[in-house]
Structures are given as C-alpha cells and as structure tokens.
Chain A
Amino acid sequence: MKLVKEWLIPTLIVFLLAGVVIAVAVPLVNGTSDEGDRFEERREERGSFDRERDGEHGEREDDERAEREGGREERDAFSFGGLMGGIVKQVMLMGIGGGITLLILAIIRQFSHRKTPPTQTDTA
C-alpha cells in the first residue's frame, strides 16, 4: 500500500503530466514546421528539376548517401576531448545561471534584513 501511495501513483501522475506537456507542444511545433515543410518541398522540387536537367541525378545522390554514412560513423564515435569540452561548456553555463541566482538571493536577503525595524543600537 505504501509502495502504491508513495511511488506508483506519483510516477503515473508524472508520466501523465509529461503527456500533457507533449500534447500541448506537438501541435505548436508542427504548426511552425508546416510552413518550413512547404518551403522545403518547393526547394526540393526546384532542386530535383535542376538535377534532372544537369543529368547528374543518380551520381549526386550516391555521393550524398556516402557522405551521410561517413558523417554518421563520425558522429557515433567517442571523443574524450569532445566530452571534456561539452562538460566544461555546461559547467560554465550552469555557473552563469547559478552565480546570478546566488547574487540575486544575497541581495534579496540583504534587503529583507533591512526591512526589520531598526533597534536602538542601530539608530545610535
């Protein structure tokens, strides 16, 4: 019973809330991408027409496919330098966000202390 109350129900609620977020996001993002799709389609049509005219259609497609395959292998490879670079970038971004927050918190605390009525020793 404790397991259901403390784990199962909250987990289901978390997934349900995530579902709500996705349900709201999907039509919004797809709405913006429809415009882009139409533009892409027009560009593709124009591109394929040009390629056919040039008579290099098959050859170019093969080159593109080979390039994509090579790129995928490169993207899937582990790189220690890339990992360290990524981590440093994140720590810096977090530091900026966290540092500004701590600064704001310190200012707020300072002001909330000032709000208290001054004591005799303060006014002396």
Chain B
Amino acid sequence: MNRPQRNLQPSKTQVRLYLDLVLFVLFLVTNAPQGTGILFHEWIGIAFIIPIVVHVVMDWQWLVSVTQRLFRKLNGETRFNHFWDILLFIMMTLVTFSGVIVSHSALPSLGIPIQVDHAWVELHEATANLLIIMVGIHLAMHLKWIVSTMKRYLFQTNARTVVVEAQR
C-alpha cells in the first residue's frame, strides 16, 4: 500500500516568515549597543546586510510588478507600501554605511584605520532612531500577513499535516 508522502519542504511563505523573524530579532539586538557592546554591535550590523538583502530579493517580483504599475491605477495602500519600502531601503543603507564609517572596533580590528567624523556619528544615531519608528510603520502595514502567517505556521498545526498524519 502506498503511503501518502509527507511534504517536509517548507513553503516560500514559511521560509519568508522564519527569515523575517530572524531579521526582527537581529534588528532588535543590533539596535541595542548599550547591551551588546560596541564590538558585537558593529559586527552584527555588518552581518545584518545579508538577511536584509535576502528579505528584499524575496519580494523582488512584487517590487517589480508594483514599480511597473506605479503610474497607472493602483491601490493607495500598495502605493504607500512601495514608497515606504523605498524609504526604508534608503534609511537602512544610510544607517549601515554610516555605522561602518564610524566603526570604533570592527574595521580597525581588520587593520582598516577609520577617522571618525562627527557628522557621520550624528547621522548614524539620528537615522537609527528614525529607522525604528519606520520599521514599526512597516510592520503595521503588513500586520494582517504577519498575524495570519504566524497563526498558520507557528501557533497551529498545519491542516495538511493533520490530514496526512490521519491517513497513516
């Protein structure tokens, strides 16, 4: 008798959810240098580039399709989301780059001397604080997706898995 194969491969939505959770935790930890220490803050800030690029690339199709329809009739919420995502990207780039520029420990430990410029320090602090509020708005805009996906994959057993288990 053929047993139905249990699908263990995570769906794209599932991967996206887990990645976003990791990204969120990393974001919280990175933005608390008073707790982690400057050295860890700097290295984790540099490492943060990888999950953020993956996060953007995973939504690439959506970005391309909305950009193509930007000057045509488009839902106001989608238009705002697109504009906000661009703004977030700019801010994230500025925070990361200014963080590298004012690095006290990470780059000097690699033998790259950095002369700290006060304007970059101010920019780094201001953009980092603003970025936290902006991420809050970004999360609120996607709250429906976050809640439904978390309910589906984290807090409840997948209905499909239950059916497969019952057939065994």
Contacts and interface: CB of A to CB of B under 8 A. Distances in A.
Given A14-B57, A87-B28, A76 B37 contact: yes
B133 A93 contact: yes
Contact of B140 (A17, A18, A83, A98): A98
A18 B93 CA distance: 6
A25 B94 contact: yes
Contacts, number: 131
Given A25-B94, A33-B119, A72-B104, A94 B139 contact: yes
A10 B139 contact: no
Contacts of A108: 76
Given A21-B94, A78-B35, A90-B31, A97 B134 contact: yes
B136 interface: yes
Interface residues of B, number: 43
Contacts of A124: none
Q: Chain A contact residues (Cβ within 8 angstroms of B): what range?
A: 35 or more
Contact of B57 (A10, A22, A97, A105): A10
A47 interface: no
Interface of A: 6-7, 10-11, 14-15, 17-18, 21-22, 25, 29-30, 32-33, 36-37, 40, 72, 75-87, 89-91, 93-102, 105, 108
Interface of B: 27-29, 31-40, 53, 56-57, 60, 76-77, 89-90, 93-94, 97-98, 104-105, 117-120, 123, 129, 132-137, 139-141, 143
